[in-house]
Chains A and B, each alone.
Chain A
Amino acid sequence: MFELYKAEFARYRVWALCAVVAVLAFYGFLAKLKPFFEAEALQIAAMNIGLVGGSFGFGIVQMILHKRINHWTYLIHRPLEVHKIFIALAGAALTIISIVVVVPLLIMTVGFDAFTAETVDMRHYAYILQLLLTCFAAYAVGTFSVLNASKGAFLIILMIAAYLMPNPETDFKQFFPAIIILAGLFLLNFNSFKADLTAHTKEPWAIFLQVSGMALGIVMAIMASSTVFYHLPLFITGQHPDDNPYDGSFSYMYEYEMGERPAYVLRNSTHPSADIYAKQAELADQEFFSLNQWTFPRQGQMYVKDKQYALQPRGLNQIWQFSHDAMLLIGRNNKTDEIIGVIGQNGFLDNLDAVTEADRFREVPFMIGESFLETTSHLYQVNFADRDMLVKHEPDAGEEYIGRLQINEDYIVIVSDKKSYLFDKVAFIDEFEATEAEYVVEHPTRPEAMAWVATYRLADGYMMLFSGNDYFANNKPGASIVHAKLGGSSELIHEEQYAYKRHPFWIQHLEFIASPANYILKNVYLHYIEPSETRNIPFKDITGNRYDTHVWIFAGFLQVLTALLAFFWSRRRNLGKAQTITWAAMGAIYGLPGFIALVLMSPWKRDVKA
């Protein structure tokens, strides 16, 4: 076995060496261009595509090379058990991947750690492990999609992408799922790696694992295909809702220019000044701000998830990076690379030796712009020239910030879970002192139900248009107009509920209907991993009033149908008892993806003696 491992390793070692050199050159080039650990989107994308995608491709290529008929016989037909052959091949490949992924990144990380004042934390090393595990998983999907006789095994890569990409709230949640997924993938590979590659998966446990892996990809494929079976035909026949806005519906609002939308919302208003508001909006300065809930950085999070690399005050040649290990901002001189001080939650300190436990931040703050730090409870402003820090703003008692400070043309805004705080822009930035908000608006509904707020500058404040498809919860769209007045008061002018009137429910809730189990599994898992991400719906919300009874009934009916379909299909194909039961169960559990997986995982041509 070890000889085979050596032989397979020898096959790729030159390539591995070339890859290491190329990756290292790429990293070196990046480090010249910008701070190496700054999570620039293009860099992360390039590393993911290059290394994770490369591992996926490598798995495919490696196994395709072996799968060629004569080569396969040569590989398998020797006095060595097949699982040992696989261990040798996969072992060699994982060694190659480890070398290409770890060596260059470790050189860079250790290099910066040892030879510069750049803040390098445990998390920078942990990222190497995280990247490596992801690459291993991608490799295993690559080999599996070649080795397995089924058609859709590659779809598992979509699950890897969806499940391993979020920003987990703990290290355990970061690494444990990756290890579980890896274990599952390698079990599947072991099961598929046998002399006869034309044999389809038979073992109930393997079918269950494989279908579970493919379900998410199949659901995504179903959703993508709705373009073909639903949207395109409607566009062609001119009956698509996008082309036929329905007056009185929520989406009809977008038929109007931004300035005209308040008029549409206020149409049924009984407020005495409704008309005036509507008219004022047309001429007012218009802006947006976001109500998106941000996942605040956690201690030890992968640095690729960082939103901002450091605070770099203009004209001072200083870089202040947040150290997750120390829970402090550590400043260094950009030119001399010397530590010039640290910032704790109580302000500046001269050096690390002066730090007491009380100085350390309790939460990892967002770094914003040149001088702001934001935790869920505090907004700090730093004056680097005078080496001073103060609390610029705090949300009202019982509230937490949910979003980063947003700097607009006309105002600055911070959003908490209950209110939006608007500040005068010039004073906010220029003055170094604690600030009260000029305008405070209580959100008319849960912020996660709304993505954006449109603001209209009025003579005496701002008119705000809140809207969302889920405004009244349970998929009931709505919008409201609020008048924010100077001094912190606000008045709800009007609130309007709309009919959905767009797509039929089976298109609107396609993801849920196609496979409630997959939908629940995905959301519950992702919600568990990253609770502050509002796109992930917790279990109690899904089972609450989110979906009408008829949606549940339809989905349930579909599942019974797919279970029956899977059962009879298996019977017709003369599958064994255990397989038939397993497939019927897959149809019952996963619904449509269960049945589609059965079709993908069965031979399409039946071998019949003519």
Chain B
Amino acid sequence: MTNPLDHVDQLCAFLAATDIGLLELKGPAGVLRLRHDGARVEVEMIEAATAALSSSPTQIIRAPVPGLYLDRHPLRSQPSVAVGDEVAAGTPLAFLQIGPLLLPVPAPEDGMVVETFAEHGATVGYGAPLIGLQPHGSDAE
């Protein structure tokens, strides 16, 4: 298998002929991003080391199913988390209520809550951004 980085020019030519706006290739060596704005193709390369550190910024936790967004457990009066809170992987950050069903939205990894997107009590669809989490780097690996 050849390295895609050897074929950037060809990929750009292919992309220019389509109406695709963004082509992103992720590999162990890093990320290759080709942006096509209709006129020209812009190339961006991010090496793996950099990608792990600076460009893994906020992780957006999204709704996995449609539901009613609750920022707290129904038996609690305070939101489960607030911006600035440090949370451990597995901590329920919020809940989705679907009728009698209550689905926790857990933190996928250790990190700091940096943003909340949804209103308490709002209906959210699949993929709606709920919470922004700043992971605690990659020291585990």
A binds B: no
Interface residues of A (CB under 8 A from B): none
